[in-house]
Amino acid sequence: MGWILERTCDPDRSLSDRLPLWLWGSVAYTIGAQVSGMIYEMLFPQAHYFVFALSLLAMLFCLYQMRDQKASLPKKEKIQTKTIFKHHFTNKAFLYFVLIYCLYQGVATSQGIYFPLYMQENGASTALVGTAPLLFSLADIPIYLITDRLLARFHYRSSLIFACLVATFRFGWYALLPDPQWILYGFFLQSISNTFILIASVKVILNLVDDKYLNTAYGMLAMLAKGIFPLFVQIGYGYLLEWIPGIQGYVITYYLYAGATLLCLLLCFGISRGRKKTGSYQK
């Protein structure tokens, strides 16, 4: 899906193309969570899989109806794979950001997996655990609407530092085992940190990578930060939680999460105000 997005988005209007998709994705997730809960209560748990199957069929039908825009795109010179990889792996600024982004997304993805278990260990009811993802998704909507305007006024390095600071505070706070109800009151913290990181990453790549290599840069970043790296992080934390069972394991886990995002914060200070070959940086 990320590849399709990159093929259909104009690199010069990257954020304006992506924001509606991210926004409607959050809206759809919010609606889907409520519908899923109703199906669970009114029918039976296995009914979810029938709904998922029908949803996938509907998605496949929509994809089939899409028209290939390749014919309307200007012809681009064919670039060898070796040239693409050489460009990316010799771009030190790009690799430095990949390290920061992978570390952050590895922690954020792992936290999202173990968060419901942490809430239950912390004494939250099933209803409270189910309400949390709903509030997190609802908070994404206004954050998406204002983040691009805020990032237009501040350099992306400042945005990344702010996002990592919020994430470090949130994970450190969770490690202190606050009342689960208070965690819901702070539901907007996750949306602020994750959305700022996501949108700032688009601006960083636009600034650090030549236009003709943008598609592969976004693909490489998504593969590493949303796929490979989180896999190893989740496995590592899973072993930790098995080795130290109970709430104490989650306390240590969240302290480690906070330490990882604090490291990301410190690394962000090493990001310079990069300049493209045009001579001006994009905020």
Q: Is 273 part of a structural domain of the chain?
A: no
Q: Is 280 part of a structural domain of the chain?
A: no
Q: How far apart are CA 184 and CA 131, in angstroms?
A: 8
Q: Other CB atoms closer than 10 Å to residue 44's CB: what's the count?
A: 9
Comparing CA positions, the residue from 63, 121, 110 lying closest to residue 231 is: 110
Q: How far apart are CA 186 and CA 100, in angstroms?
A: 25
CA-to-CA separations, 253 to 56, 88, 170, 187, in angstroms, rounded: 35, 33, 13, 20
- Per residue in 99-149, pLDDT (tens digit) is 999 999 999 999 988 898 899 899 888 778 777 777 877 777 777 777 767
**Between residues 267 and 28, which one has the greater pLDDT?**
267
- Per residue in 75-96, pLDDT (tens digit) is 556 777 788 888 888 999 999 9
Q: How far apart are CA 137 and CA 183, in angstroms?
A: 15
Q: How far apart are CA 74 and CA 113, in angstroms?
A: 42
Which CATH number belongs to the domain containing residue 186 in this structure? 1.20.1250.20
Q: Looking at the whole model, is its pTM more than 0.85?
A: no
Q: Is 282 part of a structural domain of the chain?
A: no
On the question of pLDDT at 156 being above 60, the answer is yes
Q: Other CB atoms closer than 10 Å to residue 233's CB: what's the count?
A: 23
Q: Is 225 part of a structural domain of the chain?
A: yes
Comparing CA positions, the residue from 108, 99, 106 lying closest to residue 204 is: 99
Q: Is 49 part of a structural domain of the chain?
A: yes
Q: Is 249 part of a structural domain of the chain?
A: yes
Average of pLDDT values for 36-41?
68
On the question of pLDDT at 167 being above 90, the answer is yes
Q: How far apart are CA 32 and CA 159, in angstroms?
A: 30
CA-to-CA separations, 142 to 22, 146, 148, in angstroms, rounded: 12, 6, 11
Q: Which band of pLDDT confidence, cut at 50, 70 and 90, is reported for residue 248?
A: very high
Residues 151, 203: contact at Cβ < 8 Å? yes
- Per residue in 169-183, pLDDT (tens digit) is 999 999 999 998 898
Domain count, the chain: 1
> For residue 32, what are its two tokens?
């889907």
Domain that holds residue 248: 2-268
Range of weakest confidence among 15-19, 177-181, 274-278: 274-278
Q: Is 51 part of a structural domain of the chain?
A: yes
Tell me phi and psi for residue 150, to 5 degrees. Answer: -65, -40
pLDDT of residue 201: 87
Q: How far apart are CA 109 and CA 105, in angstroms?
A: 6
CA-to-CA separations, 121 to 129, 240, 242, 277, in angstroms, rounded: 11, 15, 14, 52
* Average pLDDT along the chain: 80
Average of pLDDT values for 244-259?
94
Q: Is 34 part of a structural domain of the chain?
A: yes
Q: How far apart are CA 20 and CA 17, in angstroms?
A: 7
**Between residues 264 and 213, which one has the greater pLDDT?**
264
On the question of pLDDT at 5 being above 80, the answer is no
Q: Which band of pLDDT confidence, cut at 50, 70 and 90, is reported for residue 8?
A: very low
- Per residue in 187-227, pLDDT (tens digit) is 788 888 888 898 888 888 888 888 888 888 888 898 899 88
pLDDT of residue 135: 80
